[in-house]
Amino acid sequence: MSYSNRRNRRVLRDADLMLYGRDLERSAINALVDGAREARGGVLVLRGRAGAGKSALLEDAVAAAGGVRALRATGVESEFELPFAALHQLLRPVLSDVDRLPAPQASALGMAFGLASNAQDNRFLVSVAVLGILDQLAEESPVLCVIDDAQWLDDASASALEFVARRVDADRIALLFGARDGDVRRFSAPGLPELRVDGLDAEAGGQLLAEQVGVPIPPEVLNRLMEATGGNPLALVELHSLITPGQLSGREPLPWPLPITDAVQRIFVQRVRRLPELTQRLLLVAAADETSRLATVLAAAAELGVPAAALDPAEHADLVAIQSGQLAFHHPLVRSSVYQSATDAERRSVHRALSEVLVEETDADRRAWHLALATVRPDESVVQLLEQTAVRAGVAAASKRPAWLWSVPQN
């Protein structure tokens, strides 16, 4: 079956492997592997955010690559300071072939992997040796090296693999990397061909959700869910357990902010937690502020002693973007995760700061709500403010509350 006529059908190659959509990504990977079969080796780096579906595509690639020898490695956060740790993972199944390499290469690799002592520590020779081993393997069958979580590769392994990737164009060797974007570490690999893995399209997202819940989802509900998750497969997979059948069928309103599981929250918060403390506080201010006005966020941050410069690491980490005086989270899940993972006290302090800077008459309602959220038990003055808000609005005060603040989680 060709990729084109699999369009948006679930691909079941083995019991564990099930993908919706992704025609474009699959054909690019297919072309890479076909190239290796025909001694036109190559490399492709899949880049995308947490939960975007990179690992799923790598699994799919291995399962689809019939007659190809697959070697696999995964960057491990705790090992990124250990030189050659990832290379060791990749080549462990074929280490017996080291002896067939020219002696200087064999000893350089032996030294790198701690198999030999007194040998020369020569990273160039190690890289040549890796190419040599893969070449030997490729005489028997095409070779596909699949390296996931490349952002956590130790530098020595990353350099060796990049060296190899630039020299396989006439070999039966392909390298396929998966690299998470927006983490504190980045797999830079300048010049290597890349493919972005974004959220699923509405059709594939709908199919994934429908499979999870067992019934089709009405288009308006699906639109809301796709918008809130950015089509992120991980969030979609986890979502169904948090939403009632009535909400999914459109009979009851969806909760807001959309709940996310601890697993999804952890994955997005991890990136935030590695940023400097002041930057994290600033992000919490931004998450609690629904105006998205940079000036408001910075003013409230200043109230908390956080300077504007604290925003830079968050921008560099690709978590927020600033344009025309607006501060936007790059992914809706980052905002929910930042807000929901904060402690109650932390949230109260940022709401207080926001209430103090929202002094314009047009912001009176917002000020009142932030003040209410800053207070454990609203005192008389806050209650009065809220009542004024209600009178001004001429409707239930509640309706003026920013929609996404509706279900403030309790810690």
Ligand X SMILES: Nc1ncnc2c1ncn2[C@@H]1O[C@H](COP(=O)(O)OP(=O)(O)OP(=O)(O)O)[C@@H](O)[C@H]1O
Bond preceding residue 219 cis, omega within 30 of 0: no
Interaction between residue 22 and ligand X (CB under 6 A): yes
Q: Give the number of other Cβ atoms within 10 Å of residue 69's Cβ.
A: 19
Which of Mg ion, ligand X, none sits in contact with 50, Cβ below 5 to 8 A by type? ligand X
Between 52 and 129, CB nearer to ligand X: 52
Interaction between residue 317 and ligand X (CB under 6 A): no
| Residues of this chain, 170-209, that bind ligand X according to CB under 6 A | 180, 200, 208
**Torsion, CA 114, CA 115, CA 120, CA 123, rounded to 10:** -60
Q: Are 229 and 199 in contact (CB under 8 A)?
A: yes
The single residue among 3, 21, 259, 367 that binds ligand X, judged by CB under 6 A, is 21
Q: What is the DSSP letter of 150?
A: G
Between 200 and 353, CB nearer to ligand X: 200
DSSP string, 82-148: STTHHHHHHHGGGGGGGGGS-HHHHHHHHHHTTS-SS----HHHHHHHHHHHHHHHHHHS-EEEEEE
Q: Which residues lie across from 321 on neighbouring strands?
A: 328
Helix, strand and coil content of the chain, in percent to the nearest 5, comes to: 55, 10, 35
Size of the site for Mg ion (CB under 5 A): 1
The single residue among 106, 144, 228, 267 that binds ligand X, judged by CB under 6 A, is 267
> With CB under 5 A as the contact rule, which of the stretches 47-55, 67-75, 213-221, 365-373 interacts with Mg ion?
47-55
Q: Are 235 and 333 in contact (CB under 8 A)?
A: yes
Between 79 and 289, CB nearer to ligand X: 79
Between 106 and 208, CB nearer to ligand X: 208
What residue type is assigned to position 371 of the chain? L
Which of ligand X, Mg ion, none sits in contact with 208, Cβ below 5 to 8 A by type? ligand X
Compute the distance between CA of residue 70 and CA of residue 146 in angstroms, rounded to an integer: 7
Between 48 and 259, CB nearer to ligand X: 48
Residue nearest to ligand X (CB): 53
Alpha-carbon distances, residue 211 vs 10, 13, 44, 216, 342 (angstroms): 10, 17, 30, 8, 32
Between 55 and 340, CB nearer to Mg ion: 55
Between 133 and 144, CB nearer to ligand X: 144
Which of Mg ion, ligand X, none sits in contact with 20, Cβ below 5 to 8 A by type? ligand X
Q: Are 386 and 372 in contact (CB under 8 A)?
A: yes
Interaction between residue 19 and ligand X (CB under 6 A): yes
Shortest CB 356 distance to ligand X, Å: 38
The single residue among 36, 42, 55, 90 that binds Mg ion, judged by CB under 5 A, is 55
Contact track, Mg ion, 127-146, x by CB under 5 A: --------------------
Shortest CB 149 distance to ligand X, Å: 6
Between 251 and 273, CB nearer to ligand X: 273
> With CB under 6 A as the contact rule, which of the stretches 65-73, 120-128, 230-238, 255-263 interacts with ligand X?
230-238
Q: What angle do CA 240, 283, 272 make, to 5 degrees?
A: 65
Query: Is residue 302 within a helix (H) or strand (E), and if so which, with residue range?
Result: helix 294-303
How many helices (DSSP H) and strands (DSSP E) are in the chain? Answer: 18, 9
Shortest CB 55 distance to Mg ion, Å: 3
Q: Are 111 and 119 in contact (CB under 8 A)?
A: yes
| Residues of this chain, 208-227, that bind ligand X according to CB under 6 A | 208
| Residues of this chain, 51-80, that bind ligand X according to CB under 6 A | 51-56
Q: What is the DSSP letter of 219?
A: H
- Six token digits for residue 151: 């952002």
Which of ligand X, Mg ion, none sits in contact with 95, Cβ below 5 to 8 A by type? none
Between 55 and 280, CB nearer to Mg ion: 55
Size of the site for ligand X (CB under 6 A): 20
**Using only C-alpha atoms, what is the Rg of the chain?**
26
Contacting positions for Mg ion (CB under 5 A): 55
Contact residues toward ligand X (CB under 6 A) are 18-22, 48, 50-56, 180, 200, 208, 233-234, 237, 267
